[in-house]
Amino acid sequence: MENDTLATIIGQNITRLRKMANMTQLELADVLNYSDKSVSKWEQGNGIPDVRILVQLADLFHVSVDDLVREHHEKEIVPRNTRALRRLIIIACSVGLCWLVAVALFVIIGIFKPGLQYLWLAFLYAVPVSSIVVLVFSCVWGYKVVRVVSISVLIWTALACIYCTAALPFGLYNFWLIFLIGIPLQVLTLFFFVWWKRAHFFKSR
């Protein structure tokens, strides 16, 4: 990539991010300890900030240096904090949809079969379903800790659902032994997480 083209791309990205942050060229210049003429020069593509300034800009706007030097066409550069907020909203809405379905089932079944026992299990079943939703998103977006937590919640709440479904209606109260299955599953989950993290660490070195 030629310097002129790179300077133009960086200038466009700085301009876009500065406007997203509601900053003037003078305000940005004050933060960087540069003159507003330097900022204007960068945004016009007449110069390229040095690496130190690029890192400072990336930290300031919560993006990566790669975001600053790559052309994005019509795609807007999304700051990391904004991206995280959007993802959190998506997860919350998806989990909320699971609980909406549980409430709807509780209401509908309660209306047409008001004497049905253990109707509250609909809410218990919503917990492992919600953890599956969170697990899927955490795998897609690479949230390793959230992935482990969601798997752990899935293990124990799924066992709780099986226990309540079998023990309460049929009186199989010694069915609590099923929770012993969760112990090796939990250990395997933690072991895989630690092993994967260590393998990834040594691979990156």
Q: Is residue 112 part of a domain?
A: yes
Q: Is residue 75 part of a domain?
A: no
Q: What confidence tens digit (pLDDT) does each residue in 127-143 have?
A: 999 999 999 998 888 78
Range of the domain at 93: 80-204
Domain identity same for 191 and 154: yes
Domain identity same for 139 and 171: yes
Domain identity same for 31 and 113: no
Highest-confidence segment of 35-44, 82-91, 114-123, 172-181: 35-44
Counting the structural domains of the chain, the total is 2
pLDDT-derived band at 158 (thresholds 50, 70, 90) equals: very high
Domain identity same for 86 and 21: no
Domain identity same for 64 and 106: no
pLDDT-derived band at 185 (thresholds 50, 70, 90) equals: very high
Q: How far is CA 89 from CA 82, 123, 132, 134, 146, in A?
A: 11, 22, 16, 12, 15
Q: Cα(76)–Cα(176) distance, rounded to whole angstroms?
A: 53
Q: Is residue 74 part of a domain?
A: no
Q: What confidence tens digit (pLDDT) does each residue in 64-120 have?
A: 888 888 886 655 566 666 677 888 899 999 999 999 999 999 999 988 888 778 888
Compute the average pLDDT of residues 24-32.
Answer: 89
Q: What is the DSSP letter of 25?
A: H
| Range of weakest confidence among 81-95, 134-148, 161-175, 186-200 | 186-200
Q: Which of 46, 69, 92 is where one domain is finished?
A: 69
- Retrieve residue 34's tokens: 């540069």
Q: What confidence tens digit (pLDDT) does each residue in 140-152 have?
A: 887 888 899 999 9
**Where residue 15 sits, what CATH number does that domain have?**
1.10.260.40
